[in-house]
Each structure stands twice: as structure tokens, then as C-alpha cells.
Chain A
Amino acid sequence: NAGVTQTPKFQVLKTGQSMTLQCAQDMNHEYMSWYRQDPGMGLRLIHYSVGAGITDQGEVPNGYNVSRSTTEDFPLRLLSAAPSQTSVYFCASTEQGARGYTFGSGTRLTVV
């Protein structure tokens, strides 16, 4: 019972590089979201999905793309990394009636 799995756990990128943060859940949850966490700012919603094929923007979507081709996977793509995207990224999933989100362990990203 893995829950929400995020890879990689750590990543260093150079400015302008692109990469994909992976997120997979094995609980058959409908809803998945990506958040970034910066000191003193809590968690800010980047993108979210209410089911396969359906995504929407959150509070801070610029510079990020998502897609949801299956219920299990919700990758986050950084198109052209910038130092302002240095952060800890959390993927989370849930379903109707749940007590709350189940969070992945996070990806610590540094852009130099």
C-alpha cells in the first residue's frame, strides 16, 4: 500500500532546463493536486485535477503544465526552470468523503 509516490526526492536544475516531477497514487482517488511550499507562505496550489482528462489552474500556475491521462498519474512539468521555482513540491490525492488529502513525501527542487 504505497499511497502517493513522488519522484525524484531531490533535484538540482540549471536555469532554463525543463523537467517533469512524477506523482502516482494507488488508491484510485479521483482528485489530485500539486502544491509548492515556500518558507512562511504555506502551501500554494499550482494545478489540480478532478479526474482523468480534467485539469485546472490553481493559485500559482505560471511556468508549470500538467496532464492527467490516467487516474493514477499526475505529472508536473516545468517548462523552463527559473530560480523562483526553487521550492518543495508536494503532490496529494483524495476522494469524496475522505478525511483530507494524502500527501506524497515531496520533491525538493533547487534551480541555480
Chain B
Amino acid sequence: ELKVEQNPLFLSMQEGKNYTIYCNYSTTSDRLYWYRQDPGKSLESLFVLLSNGAVKQEGRLMASLDTKARLSTLHITAAVHDLSATYFCATRVSAGGFKTIFGAGTRLFVKA
């Protein structure tokens, strides 16, 4: 059964600092997604990572994928208050079709 674990679950950081969110998954998968959710809102797709070593960057966020370690990271560079949100990773079982499982989410708060 596919399990997706994120850590930390809560992160409070100062503006200007760097930090990394980790996402581990338990079985082989063919892709890894990252989403953002603002309080009281729906989810917005950030990145999809499709192969080992894939790296995607947008603004102060950079996501990477290591399929051998079953690990993805979301790195935040020089955080700003606008990045405060909950970040989810998600993946699917490649052999099992389209079933997509989410992690519990990392609630990020960036203090001014």
C-alpha cells in the first residue's frame, strides 16, 4: 500500500532564511507532485517531477526528485511572507494506474 510522508508537518521560519521540506513515499512511482494551499482555499499545482534527478524551480521554490531513495524535496530560498501556506506532495502507484495519494501537508509560516 502506498504511503506518503512529509516532514516537518509544521514549520515557522524567519523571512530571508532557507529551508527544505521532505517527502518520502513507500513504493515505486512514476511521478511526484507538489501543491500549495492557502488557508480556506483550494489546492494549486506547483510542480510535477517525472524522472530521477528531475529538478524544477519557480521563484524561491525548487523541487527535486530521487526515485531510488523515494524522496522528493521542496527547497525554499530566502523565504518571504507570501510563501506562507500549506504544501502537499502527492504521488501515484505507476503500476496501479491513476490512484494518487497525498502526504499530510507541511504548514509553513514565514515571519516578517
Q: Does A35 contact B (CB under 8 A)?
A: yes
Q: Are B100 and A45 in contact (CB under 8 A)?
A: yes
Q: Does B9 contact A (CB under 8 A)?
A: yes
Total inter-chain residue pairs, C-beta < 8 Å: 58
SS class of chain B's interface: helix, strand, loop or mixed? strand
* Option from B48, B88, B98 in Cβ contact (under 8 Å) with A42: B88
Mark B87-112 against chain A: 1 for CB-CB distance below 8 A, else 0.
Answer: 01010000001111111110000000
* Option from A31, A41, A90, A98 in Cβ contact (under 8 Å) with B42: A90
Interface, chain B (partner A; CB < 8 A): 6, 9, 33, 35, 41-48, 88, 90, 97-105
26 A-B pairs in the complex with CB atoms less than 8 angstroms apart = A40-B9, A40-B104, A42-B6, A42-B88, A42-B103, A43-B88, A43-B90, A44-B102, A45-B101, A48-B98, A48-B99, A48-B100, A50-B97, A56-B97, A58-B99, A99-B48, A100-B33, A100-B35, A100-B45, A100-B48, A100-B90, A101-B33, A101-B35, A102-B45, A104-B42, A106-B42
